[in-house]
Amino acid sequence: MTFDDAYEWLQANSMECARLASLAELAAWDQRTYIPKKGHAHRAEQLEMLARLIHARATDPRIGECLDVAERDCPADPLLPQAVNLRMWRRAFDREVKIPASLAAALAGTAARAESAWETAKGSGDFNGFRPLLAEMISLTAQKADCLSTGHERYDALLDEYEPGATAAGIETVFCALRGPLMKLTADIAAQGRGAELPASTYPLFAQRQLCAELVAAIGYDLQAGRIDETVHPFTIGIGPGDVRITTRYTEDSPTPGLFGCLHEAGHALYDQGLDSVYWGTPMGSAVSLGIHESQSRLWENLVGRSAAFWRWAFPRAAAAFDGLRAVPESAFVRAVNGVRPGFVRVEADEVTYNLHVLLRFELERSLFRGDLTVADLQGAWNEKMQAYLGLVPRHPGEGVLQDVHWSAGLFGYFPTYTLGNLYAAQLFAAADSAVGPLEEQFARGEFGPLLDWLRKHVHLHGQRFTAEELITRATGAPPSQEAFISYLTRKYTDLYALDKNRS
Ligand code: ZN
C-alpha cells in the first residue's frame, strides 16, 4: 500500500462517517423541532442504528493499518492539510479503540436511563431518587477516563474530549484569576441598585421572527444555507456544507430570549458556515473544540449583540416592530438587556455572574473524580458553593444540583468550555478591533463584515489545523488568558452602571 492509497482510503472513510453523522444530525434536528409525538420511538431506533454504523466505521481496524502506512510518509510540515488530517485521525482512532465496546455500551445505556430519570427528578425535586443512577454514571465515566488517561489527573482525560489539550490545573488557574474580580463586579453593580426592566407588553411572535431573521442576516448568517426554527432548548446543527440550521425559543412577554438566543446560535452557525467546504468531512473542515465554538456564539451574542453600538443601529428596527418599545429610550433598553443579578440558573445568567456558575460545577466535578466528594454529599456541596459565590441557596434541587442535563448524559469536563469560550471571545474581539476596528463604529452603522471576515481568516478557515491554544495565540498574539475578558466586563459595566472608575 502506498501513501496515496492509504490516505485516500482514510479520507473516504472519514467522509462516509461524516455523511452518516450528518444523517443522524438531520434526524436529531427533526426530533427536536417537528417530529410528531408518536414518532419518537422509531426515531430512537433510527438514531441508535446510525450510531452503531458510525462506531463500526470509526473503529475499523483498517484505519490503524492505513495510518501506520501513511504516517511513514506524512508531510513534514505539520500545518499542511494532509498532516493535520493524519494527526487528528490518529488521535480519534486511538481514543476510540482504548474504550472497550462493553464500556461504551454501558455508558450509552446508562446515559439513556439517567437522562429520563433526571427529567423526572428535576420536575419532582427528588435528588435522592436520582442518586444511584448518577453514581453509576460517574463510576462508568471514571472508568472511561482511566482508559484514556495519559498518566495525569483523571479529570484531564475528560476535559481533553471537549477541549483537546486543556488541563484541570490550567482551568483552575483561570478561575482563580476570575473569581475575585467577578464577585467584586457583581457586588458593585448590586450596590448601584439600578437594574432596568423592559415594560410589560406583548411582543407578537410574527414580529419577533421577522426581526430575528433580519438581524442574523445582517451579521452574515446565510439563510440560503440555513434556516431558523423553534424549539425548547435552542441549538445549532451543521448538517453539511450549505445546510447549517439554527433554532430559538420565543416568548410573547419578552423579545429578549428569542433575540439573544438567535444571535447566540447564529454565532455558532457563522463558524460552521465559515469552515472550508473543500475539506468537509475531515478534521481540516471541522471545528477545533467546544471552547472555540462557544467563543463564536458568545462573541456575536454578547460582545456584538449586547453592545450599545449594536443597538444604535438595531433599536429603531426593534422599536418599529414592537409597540411595547416605542416609549422606551434606547439607553434604557441597552441597560435592560445587560442586567446583572445573581440567580440560581446558569442558562439565564448574565455575562458577569455566568462564569461563577461554571466555576462551581468545575470544582464539584473535579472533586467527584478525585474521590474527594461523594454523590451523597453533592447536593450539600452545591448549596454551599452557591451561597459562597452567588449569595443564594437553592430552594429545591430543581433549581440547584438537578438543573443541568449534562451529568446525567455523562458530560463531565464539558462545563469549563463555556468559560473558555467567554475568554476566547473577549480576546479575539480585542484583536479584531485592533486589526480592523473601531468595530463599534461599524456596528452603529450596521456593518459587521469586517469582523466576520477577520474571524473567517483567523479562526474559521483553519479547521483543526491548530489546537485551541495555538489558534488563539496566533490570532491574537498572546496565549489564552482571562485578562481581555475581565477588562471588557469592567469597562462595559463601569460605563453602563456609572460605577466609580477608581473603585478598589
Ligand atoms: Zn452555545
User: Domain locations in the chain?
Assistant: 3-126, 168-503
Give just the sign of the alpha carbon dihedral 196, 199, 204, 206.
negative
Q: How far is the CA of 261 from the centre of ligand 1 (A)?
A: 9
Q: Any bridge partners for residue 246, and if so which?
A: 228, 236
Q: What is the DSSP letter of 80?
A: S
Q: How far is the CA of 296 from the centre of ligand 1 (A)?
A: 8
The mean predicted confidence, pLDDT, of the chain is 94
**Residue at grid coordinates 474581539:** 429
Q: How far is the CA of 215 from the centre of ligand 1 (A)?
A: 18
User: Residue 294: what pLDDT?
Assistant: 97
User: Residue 346: what pLDDT?
Assistant: 93
Residues flanking ion ligand 1, Cβ below 5 Å? 297
Q: How far is the CA of 283 from the centre of ligand 1 (A)?
A: 21
Measure the CA–CA gap between 498 and 58, rounded to whole angstroms: 55
Measure the CA–CA gap between 20 and 163, rounded to whole angstroms: 24
Measure the CA–CA gap between 386 and 403, rounded to whole angstroms: 13
**For residue 341, how many other CB atoms are within 10 A of its CB?**
14
Q: How far is the CA of 294 from the centre of ligand 1 (A)?
A: 5
Q: Any bridge partners for residue 240, and if so which?
A: 243
Measure the CA–CA gap between 114 and 121, rounded to whole angstroms: 10
Q: How far is the CA of 354 from the centre of ligand 1 (A)?
A: 13
Question: Which residues of the chain register pLDDT less than 50?
Answer: none
- 265 catalytic residue (yes or no): yes
User: Residue 111: what pLDDT?
Assistant: 87
Q: What is the pTM of this model?
A: 0.95
Q: Determine contact, residues 422/178, Cβ cutoff 8 Å.
A: no
Q: How many residues does the chain have?
A: 504
Q: How far is the CA of 190 from the centre of ligand 1 (A)?
A: 27
Contacts of 263 (CB under 8 A, 6+ apart): 215, 216, 219, 300, 301, 304, 305
Q: 25, 161, 163, 265: which is the annotated catalytic residue?
A: 265
Measure the CA–CA gap between 323 and 14, rounded to whole angstroms: 52
Q: How far is the CA of 221 from the centre of ligand 1 (A)?
A: 16
Q: How far is the CA of 350 from the centre of ligand 1 (A)?
A: 14
Q: How far is the CA of 418 from the centre of ligand 1 (A)?
A: 8
Measure the CA–CA gap between 179 and 470, rounded to whole angstroms: 25
Q: How far is the CA of 372 from the centre of ligand 1 (A)?
A: 30
Give just the sign of the alpha carbon dihedral 487, 488, 493, 498.
positive
Phi-psi region of 380 (alpha: psi -120 to 50; beta: other; left: phi over 0): alpha
Cα R_g (the chain), whole angstroms: 23
**Residue at grid coordinates 473558555:** 420
The CATH number of domain 168-503, selected from 1.20.120.1200, 3.30.465.10, 1.10.3470.10, 1.10.1370.30: 1.10.1370.30
User: Residue 501: what pLDDT?
Assistant: 66
**For residue 284, how many other CB atoms are within 10 A of its CB?**
22
